[in-house]
Amino acid sequence: MKVLFIGGTGNISAACSRHALQNDVQLYLLNRGKVRAPGLEEAVSVKADIHKPGEVEKAIAGMTFDVVVNFIAFTPEDVQRDLDLFRGKTGQYIFISSASAYQKPQSHYLVTESTPLANPYWDYSRDKIACEELLMKAYREDGFPVTIVRPSHTYDTVIPVAVGSWEDYTIVDRMKKGLPVIVHGDGSSLWTVTHSDDFAKAFTGLLGHQQAIGQGFHITSDEVLNWNQIYEAVAEAAGVEPHLLHASSDLISDVADSIGMSWMRGNLLGDKAPSVVFDNTKIKRFVPGFVATIPFRQGIRRTLQLFEAKKERMWISKDNARLMELLAEKVMQQ
């Protein structure tokens, strides 16, 4: 099976690339060639910038694929470009959407693929919804062979916290120094974090899957934790006891707004603040035997080892550190 990944070296996509190669997929990676994840030496490099359609057309001239997957499409303009580029060139196009597109606030805690798509809090999610709508219109009207996949809080090379960014070491550094770390709400809302290697197992089963055309799926672990447990597992992996302070999502958002981190409001209210549990019945029906096997307590240890193996990965975000300090000050004053 000949498969083109647009991206293929990121937090989720690198694991999908490795798993595809392990399952004898003839894998092509289309990217600018600036990052080469380990274990992907057998993939064929297609060097092009997806944001430059003329460059892509030249790079894939005369080529067709059984599957094209775009891990880095975020807007309807991105999707329209892909429709123009790959119509007639692929037997399946997989769009990586987001489980944050599901209804917020949700009418039921258990999310299935039939849960409505509606998120008034986060423009990222609304853009993903618009992408899905454009693709499904192309499927209904022109038979464009789309499959939609919605990850939720999937980690490997990132630290999946809720307050602050994922890509830096700030939270762990504060924990190791005994400094307070902010958790939204009272920490009891339910959440699901999924290791990229588990996601990749189910995802690979959808490649070239004829019955998956025109369908949408989320892929997550079945392990459900509350946010206190998530932060406690991060601290345990770091070998320390956490000092957790709790603040309302509104307070966190207001303080973040005041220091130019306005994206935090959508990230919390539009995704991580409410309890969300995913029903994975559908993906298990289409990919028999899929089961997530990496518990968070184990997976986060592997993630911290990745950070700590290279000193440059252990960088501290001044914005995140400032946000934590301001919030800790406000909570202490209450």
Q: Are residues 55 and 124 in the same domain?
A: yes
Looking only at the bridges linking them, the beta strands covering 110-111 and 44-47 are: unpaired
- Pull the structure tokens for residue 89: 């060139």
Q: Are residues 149 and 257 in the same domain?
A: no
Give the integer Cα–Cα distance in Å for 95 and 214.
Answer: 11
Are the CB atoms for 143 and 87 separated by under 8 Å?
A: no
Q: Are residues 252 and 318 in the same domain?
A: yes
Are the CB atoms for 185 and 273 separated by under 8 Å?
A: yes
Q: Are residues 123 and 162 in the same domain?
A: no
Q: Are residues 187 and 199 in the same domain?
A: no
Residue with tokens 């400032």, as numbered in its chain: 322
**Tens place of pLDDT per residue across the chain (334 aa):** 999 999 999 999 999 999 999 999 999 999 987 666 778 989 999 999 999 999 999 999 999 999 999 999 999 999 999 999 999 999 999 999 999 999 998 899 899 999 999 999 999 999 999 999 999 999 999 999 999 999 999 999 999 999 987 899 999 999 999 999 999 999 999 999 999 999 999 999 999 999 999 999 999 999 999 999 999 999 999 999 999 999 999 999 999 999 999 999 999 999 999 999 999 999 999 999 999 999 999 999 999 999 999 999 999 999 999 999 999 999 998 7
Q: Are residues 148 and 162 in the same domain?
A: no
- How many domains are contained in the chain? 2
**CB count in 10 Å sphere of residue 154:** 23
The DSSP-derived string for 113-170 is TTS-B--SS-HHHHHHHHHHHHHHHHHHHH---EEEEEE-SEESSS---SSS-SSSSH
- Pull the structure tokens for residue 191: 């959440």
Q: Is residue 257 part of a domain?
A: yes
Give the integer Cα–Cα distance in Å for 290 and 283.
Answer: 8
Q: Is residue 289 part of a domain?
A: no
Beta bridge partners of 68: 4, 93
Q: Is residue 283 part of a domain?
A: no
Q: Is residue 106 part of a domain?
A: yes
Kindly give the residue spans of alpha helices, DSSP state H, lying in the chain.
Answer: 13-22, 53-59, 76-86, 123-142, 170-176, 196-206, 227-238, 249-258, 263-267, 281-286, 296-308, 318-333
Domain that holds residue 47: 2-154+194-219
Q: Which residues contact 257 (CB under 8 A, 6 or more apart)?
A: 264, 265
Q: Are residues 180 and 314 in the same domain?
A: yes
Closest CA to 218 of 79, 96, 127: 96
